[in-house]
Structure 1
Amino acid sequence: MVGFLYVLSAASMWGLIGLFTQYTLAEGISALEIAFWRAALAWIMFLIHASLTKQVKVHRTDLPALFGFGFICVTLFYGSYQLAIRDVGIGLAAVLLYTAPAWVALLSWLVLKEALTTTKMACVVMTILGVACISLGPQLLTGAPFNLNLFGLAAGLLSGFTYALYYIFGKKFLYRYATPTIFVYALPFGAALLFPFVTFADKTPQAWLLLIGLALVTSYIAFSLYYAGLKRLDATHASIIATFEPVVAALSAYILFGEHFSIFGSIGSALILVAVFLVILSGSKARRAEALNEV
């Protein structure tokens, strides 16, 4: 249950990314610059944490993997998601991003040797359908056309795949390094590869506060909580629980901007909540089985 609460809290914080982004875009800052500062400022926070707790050092042979994590899960993930939003729109981009649980289930089976159970696959299908209902519901109701192109679809699928690698990498390296240690090396490398594509704008004090808040809440705190939860859950279950993020995003948009849930949004939220409940239930059964085996 503790692992579930950690991941759910992280997902709730990730659900605020859209709010931070909307207010920051209004300050005249581009999406790629927002991505750059989110990574760069979060790196400073993780560096301070790692320095105070003496968790900076890593084995030299692990540096290529840590830099690879920065390239894949910061540079490629941030970049591909922005390109998908540009070319196919926010709604479909979100659906393609949340193919991540399916990628995680497949990669967990291939790389981590986690069992690919019927319950896991059912939860993966429900989460993807749920996100599709929340994100694409307005177009389905109004009959608005979808802006589809092959490059945008490929970028969206790449965002889902690279997002999934957060889970796989976390399970492979968590037992070796603390969370701050991983991000001390991954974030600056990922931000550096974004740097050539960023056009920097003049920023007001309010813009800096928004950027710092984005980095603090959605990167430093959220990833710290998430990886603490991942130590207690398998990767597929964690990825399914994290799809609570679009539910939080939709609810916050309703509260702050008056954006109403459609019938599809309500159905999608219900599907995600049922999937999360099944994850909790299956996790409890697994723990009980382990306890009986130990007796």
Structure 2
Amino acid sequence: MNIKGCIFILTAAVMWGLIGPVSKFPIEQGVSPLENAFWRAIFAWILFAVHACRIRRVSIAAKDLPRIIGFGFIGVTVFYGSYQLAVQDVGAALASVLLYTAPAWVAFMSWLLLGEKMGPVKLAALGITICGVVCVSLGPQLFGTGTEIRFTWFGIICGLASGFTYALYYIYGKTIFARYTTPTVFLYALPVGALCMTPFFEFTHKTATSWLSLVALAIICTYGAYSVYYAGLKYLEATTASVIATVEPVVAAILAWLWWNESFDWTGYLGSAMIILAVLMIVMEKKVYAFFSKPQPQSV
């Protein structure tokens, strides 16, 4: 395994793991979650625009404009917004775990929309994901355990919505991302996504801490994370990179505990482990099949 590639992917995962814990700083100071998402999109757009101009990849075909506008709404407005709302309502740690239901959504939508096979490994992973979500969301009520995080159904739904819309990046990856560079796509998608958020929040006064957090969300958690992740893909297979990137919710949980005193009960940790296990099953599906299809040694 290429060490340089591993370092790149781990760095990207750590950067993404910062999203929830960093987002809580402005939220705790009165900035709405959707305004958080708005500024994340705007500041990241500036960086991607500079990048697109530098590599001279700023043009798109007119026929692809509706798809990119659609991606701006789904992949920026809904994805960024729902994730920030989940961070506010269920905490940074659980929001990150629910985001990682994305591979299960990918498996389901690939079967539904792209005609890809839904084999036993994917079906099992989908079932494990559902059980994991039930554990983290209903565990305290079902088993009567206490928890440091107050769950709301709205927050759970927003967390699942963030996983669903993040999964659509894969579907779009089969179309627009296959024809354009990432900076080119985000050059158009980010301002569309930011504009669609504006009717749903009011701009508020922000402290220096809030502004620093918002800039960090754009520079570190968005532009930086994507850039480092795709640099790592030059050295590693996508499957390997996906496995390494599952440290993201672990990073988010640790930082949420250190900075915000967030913690799960045992059902939350069990559910989180199940969701991460399901992710590993999906991304390692081919290797699982290869392992079980190996010819067994004949007994003498």
Q: TM-score, normalised to structure 2's length?
A: 0.74
Letter in 1 for 2:212: L
Provide the C-alpha distance between the structure 1 equivalents of 2:206 and 2:223, rounded to a whole number of angstroms.
22
Provide the C-alpha distance between the structure 2 equivalents of 1:56 and 1:166, rounded to a whole number of angstroms.
20
Letter in 2 for 1:255: L
Aligned to 1:249: 252
How many residue pairs were aligned? 282
**Cα separation, partners in 2 of 1:136 and 1:229, compared to 1, 3 Å:** farther
Displacement of 1:63: 1.1
Q: For residues 272-293 of structure 1, what are the alpha-carbon distances to aligned partners after superposition, in whole Å with 9 as ceiling and x for unaligned?
A: 45445445644557899xxxxx
Contact 2:90 2:152 in 1 (8 A): yes
Identify the range of structure 1 (247-256 vs 55-64) with the bigger mean alpha-carbon deviation: 247-256
**Which of 113, 118, 128 is equivalent to 1:116?**
118
Q: For residues 88-119 of structure 1, what are the alpha-carbon distances to aligned partners after superposition, in whole Å with 9 as ceiling and x for unaligned?
A: 75588777655433321121123334332222
Provide the C-alpha distance between the structure 1 equivalents of 2:168 and 2:232, rounded to a whole number of angstroms.
16
5+ residue gaps, structure 1, are 289-295
Aligned to 2:177: 174
Identify the range of structure 1 (221-230 vs 161-170) with the bigger mean alpha-carbon deviation: 221-230
2:235 counterpart of 1:233: no
Displacement of 1:260: 4.3
Identify the range of structure 1 (55-64 vs 201-210) with the bigger mean alpha-carbon deviation: 201-210
Partner SS, residue 200 of structure 1: coil
Aligned to 1:38: 40
* Identity score, percent: 50
- Structure 1 residues 120-139: aligned runs within 5 Å: 120-130=122-132, 132-134=134-136
Provide the C-alpha distance between the structure 2 equivalents of 1:108 and 1:156, rounded to a whole number of angstroms.
21
Provide the C-alpha distance between the structure 1 equivalents of 2:213 and 2:248, rounded to a whole number of angstroms.
20
Provide the C-alpha distance between the structure 2 equivalents of 1:68 and 1:280, rounded to a whole number of angstroms.
27
5+ residue gaps, structure 2, are 292-300
Displacement of 1:43: 0.5
Displacement of 1:258: 4.4
2:199 counterpart of 1:201: no
Partner SS, residue 171 of structure 2: helix
Provide the C-alpha distance between the structure 2 equivalents of 1:47 and 1:66, rounded to a whole number of angstroms.
15
Q: TM-score, normalised to structure 1's length?
A: 0.76
- Structure 1 residues 82-101: aligned runs within 5 Å: 89-90=90-91, 97-101=99-103
**Cα separation, partners in 2 of 1:80 and 1:223, compared to 1, 3 Å:** same
Letter in 2 for 1:223: Y
Q: CA RMSD in A?
A: 3.8
Partner SS, residue 178 of structure 2: coil
